[in-house]
Amino acid sequence: MTAHSLGVEVSCDGPDEQTDCPGSAAIRIRFASLTAREVRADGRKDGWARQRRAGRLADLCPGCAAPST
């Protein structure tokens, strides 16, 4: 039996460090995207953003990446 990687899931890190994403968002699956880099590139096409937060990068869905007023 052989195991094959099914890819990776990238989920939203929430609007800030203390709050989870209210929508529990994840980047939509694309059949050809298997690596984290490919999945994040797909997400950028859908409006996802990456921001540096507390010394690391955070993945943010369009709702959490929008500036709050």
d(CA 22, CA 68): 14
In a domain, 69, yes or no: no
Number of domains in the chain: 1
Report if residue 18 sits inside a domain: yes
User: What is the span of the domain harbouring residue 40?
Assistant: 1-62
Please indicate, yes or no, if residue 67 is contained in any of the structural domains.
Answer: no
Q: How many CB atoms lie within 10 A of CB 7?
A: 16
pLDDT digits (tens, 9 = 90+) for 17-32: 999 999 889 988 788 8
| Residue 3 counted as domain residue | yes
pLDDT tens profile 6-15: 778 899 999 9
22 domain-assigned: yes
Whether 68 is covered by a domain: the verdict is no
Residue 8 lies in a domain: yes
